[in-house]
Amino acid sequence: MTTVHGGLDTAELRGLGLMPEQLLDFSSNINPLGISRRVREAASRANLSAYPDRHCLELREALAARLDVSIDNILVGNGSVQLIHLLARARLSPVQSCLIFAPTFGEYEEAATLAGGGVHTVQAKEADGFRWSIDTATRAIKRIRPSLVFLCNPNNPTGVFLDCEEVKRIRDAMGRNGLLVLDDSYSALADRPWNAIPLLDLGSVTILRSMTKEHALAGVRLGYMIAKANVISATARLQPAWSVNDVAQAAGLAALRDDDHIEAARKVVAESKAYLYHELNALGLPVWPSAANFLLVRVGKGAKVRSALLKKRVVVRDCTSFGLPEHIRIAVRRPEECQRLIQSLREVLGNE
Ligand SMILES: Cc1ncc(COP(=O)(O)O)c(C=O)c1O
């Protein structure tokens, strides 16, 4: 495992003599309200002794009913990251390549490299507000003819959110041979989310969803993909048995019956995001408009600011591994927690 991620690192914390519960974590982009009571109760009733259902039948049935697709169009994974790796293994080889819309989540490149595939990127520039030129991207796709295209929408870490027409143009440029992996992991908590499911009718599209983000189940690991049945079966063949444990399946089923929790989280994200934009601007820090539940902020030296904040028991994501060493990424949390972050940033930047 070489990809750098947000989240707390036990070894690093030990070195600093800190305990995870002493920290306020802005480095994982999860639901600011945490796990709902219903989900916690359902998870606590899971059977820890029996093998879980290998095929996640009940959860797939609930997802299929909700998304209006067949259960044959759904594969559940040990986090969406497992599905990213399985897709890369299913679709890439040393004579095939993928194209990644960058800067973005590091596991796409990791998965493609481990699968032996070539990696191309379409790079967004800060000067363009981190928006990709769709013309440049479609030309690259036609030239390279990738077997896989990874597009994170809204994108981690920039918060750029392409609309349906832009995604369709990317899909159309691919023709029939490639598979577009649309990583929808952050759409549930995004501003103005749109329904990507109808894109499946175009063929050669897979939608990835992460329940670890919207329901704060990062420790449980739960994600799923939606695709044509032949893509699902080719990917499922590579999945180790019992990848999705019973706690995750029980939590997932309860989460699907708890839309109120997502609605409440969306309100918190909207309120805190407005507060953060305002305060970051007041600190003179450039912050990019983000449709997602996290913000990309230019602070000068991302690694240095992260270390200084850590000493104040606040964790942010240094974006050096995204190729953005001047930036940090901040997850949107509850208003009172965001106030603590702003106060700590003010102290670290010497504005007080
Ligand atoms: C864009 C994106 N996709 C997928 C994942 C992995 O999510 P999961 O916890 O479902 O494996 C992450 C995690 O940070 C992510 O940022």
pLDDT tens readout for residues 107-153: 999 999 999 999 999 999 999 999 999 999 999 999 999 999 999 99
Residue bearing the CA closest to ligand 1, atom 3? 185
Look at residue 127 in the predicted model and tell me its pLDDT.
95
pLDDT at 1 over 70: no
Could you identify the atom of ligand 1 that is nearest to the CA of residue 217? 9
Question: Is the CB of residue 152 below 6 angstroms from any atom belonging to ligand 1?
Answer: yes
Could you identify the atom of ligand 1 that is nearest to the CA of residue 222? 10
Q: Which fold has domain 37-257?
A: Aspartate Aminotransferase; domain 2 (3.40.640)
- Model confidence at 21, pLDDT cuts 50, 70, 90, reads confident
Q: Which of 15-29, 243-257, 289-303, 327-341 has the lowest mean pLDDT?
A: 15-29
Look at residue 20 in the predicted model and tell me its pLDDT.
85
Look at residue 350 in the predicted model and tell me its pLDDT.
86
Distance CA 75, CA 225 (A): 5
What pLDDT digit, counting tens, does each position of 231-241 carry?
A: 999 999 999 99
Pocket test of ligand 1: the residue of 75, 82, 100, 213 to mutate, having most ligand atoms within 8 Å of its CB, is 213
Residue bearing the CA closest to ligand 1, atom 6? 81
Question: Residue 331: which residues within 8 A CB-CB, separation 6 or more?
Answer: 6, 25, 26, 27, 28, 29, 30, 32, 293, 294, 317
Look at residue 146 in the predicted model and tell me its pLDDT.
97
Question: Is the CB of residue 153 below 6 angstroms from any atom belonging to ligand 1?
Answer: no
Question: Is the CB of residue 154 below 6 angstroms from any atom belonging to ligand 1?
Answer: no
Question: Is the CB of residue 322 below 6 angstroms from any atom belonging to ligand 1?
Answer: no
Domain ranges of the chain: 10-30+260-348, 37-257
- Model confidence at 216, pLDDT cuts 50, 70, 90, reads very high
Over residues 284-305, mean pLDDT: 96
pLDDT at 266 over 70: yes
Over residues 210-222, mean pLDDT: 94
- Model confidence at 81, pLDDT cuts 50, 70, 90, reads very high
Distance 210 CA to ligand 1 centre (A): 6
Look at residue 3 in the predicted model and tell me its pLDDT.
82
Question: Is the CB of residue 156 below 6 angstroms from any atom belonging to ligand 1?
Answer: yes
Over residues 283-294, mean pLDDT: 96
Distance 185 CA to ligand 1 centre (A): 7
Question: Is the CB of residue 105 below 6 angstroms from any atom belonging to ligand 1?
Answer: yes
Pocket test of ligand 1: the residue of 26, 30, 80, 208 to mutate, having most ligand atoms within 8 Å of its CB, is 80
Question: Is the CB of residue 81 below 6 angstroms from any atom belonging to ligand 1?
Answer: yes
Over residues 226-235, mean pLDDT: 97
pLDDT at 352 over 70: no
- Model confidence at 12, pLDDT cuts 50, 70, 90, reads confident
Over residues 6-33, mean pLDDT: 88
Nearest alpha-carbon partner for 2 in 96, 107, 85: 107
Say what percent of the chain tops pLDDT 70.
99
Tell me, yes or no, if the pTM score tops 0.75: yes
Question: Is the CB of residue 210 below 6 angstroms from any atom belonging to ligand 1?
Answer: yes
Q: Which residue has the higher pLDDT, 4 or 23?
A: 23
Which CATH architecture does the domain made up of 10-30+260-348 adopt?
Alpha-Beta Complex (3.90)
Could you identify the atom of ligand 1 that is nearest to the CA of residue 78? 11
Distance 322 CA to ligand 1 centre (A): 14
Averaged pLDDT score across all residues of the chain: 95
Could you identify the atom of ligand 1 that is nearest to the CA of residue 82? 11
- Model confidence at 2, pLDDT cuts 50, 70, 90, reads confident
pLDDT at 259 over 90: yes
Structure tokens at 267: 């309100």
